[in-house]
Amino acid sequence: MTQATASKPRHVPLRTCIGCNSEKPKMELIRIVRTPEGNLAVDGPKGKLKGRGAYVCPQVECMEKVIKRKALPHTFKQAFPPEQLEVVKQQFVERLLTPSI
């Protein structure tokens, strides 16, 4: 016998923003990926990029905290040159302006 069980799971996956350390539903956060080549990239809304991910609130303030606190080198246990952090910050801002990227 199959019974119609709850169609929507109640459990929402949470992730912690590496800028402000608050927990939010994964869907509401922007994913930053360290690719297998060791580069940083801001993932699209579908989360297609391969690699280790870190999550940041969709706010410039949080991204600035991420840079200031060196949260990315800390999270990925790898040093990144300042230019690379600047590029990922720009990608992040573009992503905020155009959520469909």
72 near Zn ion, rule: CB under 5 A: no
Count Cβ atoms within 10 A of the Cβ of residue 22 and give its class: 0-12 exposed, 13-18 middle, 19 or more buried: exposed
Q: Which of residues 2-31 bind Zn ion (CB under 5 A)?
A: 17, 19-20
Name which of 1 and 68 has its Cβ closer to Zn ion. Answer: 68
Q: Does residue 66 bind Zn ion (CB under 5 A)?
A: no
**Per CB under 5 A, does 96 bind Zn ion?**
no
Write out the H or E segment, with its range, that includes residue 15.
strand 14-16
SS3 25: strand
Residue ranges binding Zn ion (CB under 5 A) = 17, 19-20, 57, 62
